[in-house]
Every structure is written in structure tokens, then in C-alpha cells.
Amino acid sequence: MESLEEIKARIEAAVPGAKIDIVTNGGPSQQHSLRVDNEHACDVAKWLRDDPALRLDFCSNVTGVDWLDRTVKKTVKVKKVVDGEEKEVNETTEEKIPGHIEAVYHLYSMTHKHGPVIIRIRTSDRVENACLPSLTPIWRSAEFQEREIFDLYGVKFDGHPDLRRILMWDEFEDYPMRKDYREPDDYEYEPTPHDDVLERAKPYYTPRPQIDGAESIVEGSKPT
């Protein structure tokens, strides 16, 4: 299979205006990825699926990644006049990077038996603009997994065919996979009372054996 650099160059030639960055992974997997701008994400995804050499026709999984606001310190060499003499000195600068949420797609080719090629798209921020284009129209296997990211991270996927909660109940508040999520002291807003759950489960109980001289334990009666 082609290198990411070659795939990036071919995408940029095939999808005018697409902005592609290679994101390196320093972890043990060494699985580098392509970050795609949101405006051209669907066009790029369609090209990756349909390109004869790649034919990335299967999306195996989609994951969410939450990035909080952070400050990155960088050390750079600058020239300064020290004691009347120009010298090169180290200077530390700070760069503030706003938070965002990413959706990361792992793509394989069932046709050519190669992969993965990993692409990622990111939101503008974590609050008002936590929106991304849905890639479910390109890979149907992304449907439930984008719903999970919507449910647990609060990302709205534009163009998703059925965007609703999949793990948490409708009345649940907040998004439990976000890094700044704080679990409440109780779950009083849980929609189904616990006693009702137990009552509905009774038909599925395994009957307990009767004990000589005793009433049914299930009924809670004391032995006679």
C-alpha cells in the first residue's frame, strides 16, 4: 500500500481545496494518521472509498478523543544583544491551544486486503461548535459508532441518518466520556424507578425450591 505522504498528495490532487495534515503517532503502534478539514471530509472519504488503488471500503471503528484547552511550552533559539555582543540564546514561549474533540476513523480495504488508513476530523471547539460532518453516508458501519460519540462526547454529526443517544437514557445530562465530566452525587433523574425494574424482572426469576415446613422464600414468609 502507498505511504501516507503519497496518499496525501493524491487526495490533494483529486479533491481541490482539501487541507490534509499528517499526524504522527509516537506510541508503540506507530499508526500515523491524516487530519482532514471538515469542509472536504465527505469528498475525501468518498475518494478514499472509491479510488481503485486504495478501495477503502470498510470502516472498522470510529473513536472519539477529547482534547482540553492546554498550554504548550516551546524553547526556541533567538539572537539577542548581551553585554554589547550579539548572542544566540534559548527563549521559552507559551502557546495556548484551544480544546476540541476529534473523531478518528480506521479504514481497511476488503477488496485489496490492506489497511488501516486512519483519518481524523476535529471540531472547532468543545462547546458551541462541537459539530462534525457524518461519514455514515460513505461507510454505513460508522452509524452506531458516531452515535456513541454523540452520546458520550456531545458531538453533533451533520447528515447522520439517526442521531440519538445509544447508551445513555434520553434524560441523561452531560457527556460522560469528556475529560472534564464530573459524576453527580446521585442519579435521581434516572427515568425508571428501581422498584419498577425489579417488578418487571420477576417473570424471569428462577423459582426457588420449597423447604419442608416453610412457605415460599420468594414470598418472604417465615417457616411455620
pLDDT number for residue 116: 96
Question: Can you tell me the distance from the alpha carbon of 183 to that of 164, in angstroms, rounded to the nearest whole number?
Answer: 21
Q: 184 to each of 152, 154, 171, 190, how far by Cα in Å?
A: 15, 18, 14, 12
Question: Can you tell me the distance from the alpha carbon of 140 to that of 162, in angstroms, rounded to the nearest whole number?
Answer: 12
8 A C-beta contact, residue 121 and residue 132: yes
pLDDT number for residue 216: 45
8 A C-beta contact, residue 64 and residue 103: yes
Percent of the chain with pLDDT over 90: 61
The whole model's pTM is what? Answer: 0.76
pLDDT in tens, 173-201: 899 999 999 877 666 555 555 676 677 66
pLDDT number for residue 118: 98
CATH number at 118 reads 3.30.460.80
Question: Length of the chain, please?
Answer: 224
Domain for residue 164, yes or no? yes
Domain for residue 135, yes or no? yes
Structural domain boundaries, residue 50: 4-67+100-186
Mean pLDDT, residues 100-112: 97
Worst-scoring range by mean pLDDT, 124-128, 161-165, 178-182?
124-128
Query: Which cell numbers hold the place of 51?
Result: 479510488
8 A C-beta contact, residue 8 and residue 34: yes
8 A C-beta contact, residue 106 and residue 59: yes
pLDDT number for residue 73: 85
**DSSP H helical ranges for 28-106:** 41-50
Mean pLDDT, residues 75-82: 80
Domain for residue 170, yes or no? yes
Domain for residue 220, yes or no? no
Domain for residue 175, yes or no? yes
Q: How are beta strands 20-23 and 131-133 bridged, if at all?
A: unpaired
Question: Can you tell me the distance from the alpha carbon of 186 to that of 136, in angstroms, rounded to the nearest whole number?
Answer: 35
Domain for residue 52, yes or no? yes
**Rounded to 5°, angle at Cα 123 from 122 and 128:** 170
Question: Can you tell me the distance from the alpha carbon of 135 to that of 179, in angstroms, rounded to the nearest whole number?
Answer: 25
What totals of helices (H) and strands (E) does the chain contain, helices first?
Answer: 4, 9
Number of compact structural domains in the chain: 1
Domain for residue 126, yes or no? yes
Domain for residue 123, yes or no? yes
Question: Can you tell me the distance from the alpha carbon of 57 to that of 113, in angstroms, rounded to the nearest whole number?
Answer: 10
8 A C-beta contact, residue 171 and residue 191: yes
